[in-house]
Amino acid sequence: MQQARETPVQPTGRQWPSPFTPTPAPPVLPPPQIVTQDELQRLQVLLHQRREAERLRKSILERLSAGAAIEAGHLTARIRQSSCRRITRSALEQFWGTEYVENLRQQIPESSQVHLEIENQSCIADL
């Protein structure tokens, strides 16, 4: 009488998978949630507020730089300066030449950016 053959064992002590073992099914993901009109409108408002805040910041900075006083109250502001070096293509070309910089640029992988654009469909429908 022959003994039953055992499944081969890897050196780690684990058994090799059987060729008859079905592969597990991929996980079922829930459908993505809908993007609501309220969310899109809120985003538009916040982006508009951000642009408005930047305009106001620049205006205040210009006036403070020109010596404007700050109205008395619980808030104050001051100008804080910092510096950094931006390595621009033109600056690199001055040191190493256009050909070397272009060769270097070709070796650097591209990076992708994702932008969200919100369009007002009612304007298109009015045409």
Each residue's pLDDT, cut to its tens digit, for the chain (127 residues) gives 555 555 555 555 556 666 677 778 888 888 889 999 999 999 999 999 999 999 999 999 999 999 999 999 999 999 999 999 889 999 999 999 999 999 999 999 999 999 888 888 775 544 4
Rounded to 10 degrees, the C-alpha dihedral 61/63/69/75 comes to -30
pLDDT value of residue 60? 96
pLDDT value of residue 127? 42
Cβ–Cβ < 8 Å for 87, 93: no
pLDDT value of residue 19? 66
If phi over 0 gives left and psi between -120 and 50 gives alpha, with beta otherwise, what is residue 13? Answer: left
pLDDT value of residue 14? 59
